[in-house]
């Protein structure tokens, strides 16, 4: 069985979900690429790719143990995380040039990197630019630790006005002490406190775009099915309707050994083991309903419902991601602080061209 891009295969069509649990991306059928001239060079782009204006207006205000932005791939010469945006006016002029050249090629807007909300004015300026290129981004997602949403009351309404589909808000555990072992917010960042986090969730649900809570599975926080169900109980009590439990990505031999790679290796939780506890055969655990599966070129999802909450278990492979970007097709686009547009998170890989003057 194969899964086509963005296809949701419903439970009724799946006889043996366990057969697909070891990396659904290996069954992913890529769409035919689209040719596009960018910076005078012809490139092949994957339809439905996402565009990321790499969010690093400031150094990050948390120091998550699993931070992918601190992972240095062996073919990289530097990290985008270490080069914050200096001249913001120049940055936004370059970004506008890139979007102008991509007009007519609809993409998803995936706002991530470091912490996009850590500099509220930077985010507000970006959202205004998004609104001037409305047709380019049929779907829009912000990935955030929520710190700026808690601190600046302008941001949630601005995201709603810019037609963001959802905020993916990271929290490894509702208990603030357990969460802080993993996410490690800077001193004085209010959302590290449970009551501030929960109030921010309520505000997004009341006045903002859609909300999905993101829990990175790890041995220091949520690691068992009992942990998962307690997390879901807390989320449901707040009115949250979507939660994703995301595994720490498979790294293979692609990255230079450092503190983050060692932590990931020591604290990874098996998504497959959790899924086999939820649905060991064709019958899910009491209180759970199996809804289906989907996959992309480097990730796979198994979707359930528990009570009124949609629950997604997601596995991902940076090895599959690296394989994908080596196929001669741009799988995503990342606009870095240097003005370089790349087909990769690595700032010196898959370079399309520079959009600064």
Residue 2 placed within a domain? no
Residue 3 placed within a domain? no
Query: CA-CA distance, 275 to 266, in Å (whole number)?
Result: 20
With tokens 């296809």, the residue in question is 7
Phi first, then psi, for residue 71 (nearest 5°) are -90, 120
Residue 4 placed within a domain? no
Given a contact cutoff of 8 angstroms between Cβ atoms, the answer to whether 226 and 293 are in contact is no
CATH no. for residue 201?
3.80.30.10
Residue 10: count other Cβ atoms within 10 Å of its Cβ: 12
Residue 219 placed within a domain? yes
Structural domain containing residue 235: 9-354
Query: CA-CA distance, 301 to 303, in Å (whole number)?
Result: 6
Beta-strand pair 210-216/242-246: parallel
User: How many domains does the chain divide into?
Assistant: 1
State the pLDDT at residue 25. 47
Residue 321 placed within a domain? yes
State the pLDDT at residue 325. 66
Query: CA-CA distance, 175 to 194, in Å (whole number)?
Result: 7
Query: CA-CA distance, 289 to 305, in Å (whole number)?
Result: 5
State the pLDDT at residue 14. 62
261: number of CA atoms within 13 Å, CB side? 13
Query: CA-CA distance, 324 to 322, in Å (whole number)?
Result: 5
Per-residue pLDDT of the chain (357 residues; tens, 9 = 90+): 455 545 556 665 665 666 555 555 455 567 789 999 999 999 999 998 999 999 999 999 999 999 888 888 887 777 777 889 989 999 999 999 999 999 999 999 999 999 999 999 999 999 999 999 999 999 999 999 999 999 999 999 999 999 999 999 999 999 999 999 999 999 999 999 999 999 999 999 999 799 999 999 999 999 999 999 999 999 999 999 999 999 998 778 878 888 998 999 999 998 889 999 998 877 889 999 999 888 776 778 899 999 999 999 998 877 776 666 677 889 899 999 999 999 988 888 889 999 998
Given a contact cutoff of 8 angstroms between Cβ atoms, the answer to whether 3 and 294 are in contact is yes
State the pLDDT at residue 4. 53
Query: CA-CA distance, 286 to 263, in Å (whole number)?
Result: 34
Range list of H helices, the chain: 88-101, 120-132, 147-151, 155-161, 176-183, 194-207, 225-238, 259-267, 271-278, 318-325
Beta-strand pair 9-10/288-295: antiparallel
Residue 104 placed within a domain? yes
3-state secondary structure of 85: coil
Given a contact cutoff of 8 angstroms between Cβ atoms, the answer to whether 85 and 119 are in contact is no
State the pLDDT at residue 19. 57
3-state secondary structure of 269: coil
Describe the crossing of helices 225-238 and 271-278 by its angle, rounded to 10 degrees: 80
Residue 170 placed within a domain? yes
Residue 64 placed within a domain? yes
What is the per-residue pLDDT across 12-22, written as a single tens digit (0 to 9) for each? Answer: 566 566 655 55
């Amino acid at each position: 069985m194969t899964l086509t891009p963005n296809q949701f295969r419903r439970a009724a069509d799946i006889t043996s979900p366990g057969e697909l649990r070891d990396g659904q991306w290996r069954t992913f059928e890529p769409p035919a690429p689209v040719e596009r001239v960018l910076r005078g060079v012809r490139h092949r782009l994957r339809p439905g790719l996402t565009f990321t204006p790499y969010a690093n207006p400031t150094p990050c205000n948390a120091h998550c143990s699993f931070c992918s932005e601190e992972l240095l791939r062996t073919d990289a010469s530097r990290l985008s995380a270490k080069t914050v945006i200096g001249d913001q006016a120049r940055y936004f002029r370059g970004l506008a040039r890139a979007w102008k050249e991509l007009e007519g090629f609809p993409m998803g807007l995936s706002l991530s990197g470091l912490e996009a909300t850590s500099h509220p004015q930077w985010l507000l300026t970006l959202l205004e630019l998004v609104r001037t290129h409305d047709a380019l981004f049929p779907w829009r997602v912000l990935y955030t630790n929520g710190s700026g949403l808690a601190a600046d009351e302008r941001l949630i309404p601005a995201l709603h006005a810019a037609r963001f589909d959802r905020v993916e808000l990271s929290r490894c555990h509702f208990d603030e002490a357990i969460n802080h072992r993993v996410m490690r917010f800077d001193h004085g960042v209010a959302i590290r406190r449970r009551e501030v986090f929960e109030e921010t969730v309520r505000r997004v649900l009341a006045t903002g775009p859609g909300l999905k809570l993101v829990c990175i599975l790890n041995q220091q926080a949520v690691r068992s099915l009992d942990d998962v169900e307690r997390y879901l109980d807390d989320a449901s009590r707040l009115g949250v309707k979507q939660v994703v439990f995301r595994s720490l990505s498979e790294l293979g031999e692609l990255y230079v050994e450092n503190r983050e790679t060692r932590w990931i290796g020591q604290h990874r939780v098996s998504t497959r083991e959790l899924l086999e506890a939820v649905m060991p055969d064709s019958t899910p655990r009491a209180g759970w309903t199996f809804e289906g599966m989907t996959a992309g070129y480097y990730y796979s999802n198994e979707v359930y419902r528990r009570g009124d909450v949609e629950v997604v278990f997601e596995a991902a492979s940076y090895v599959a991601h690296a394989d994908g970007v080596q196929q001669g097709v741009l799988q995503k686009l990342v606009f870095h602080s240097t003005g370089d547009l790349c087909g990769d998170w690595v700032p010196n890989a898959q370079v399309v061209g520079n959009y600064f003057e």
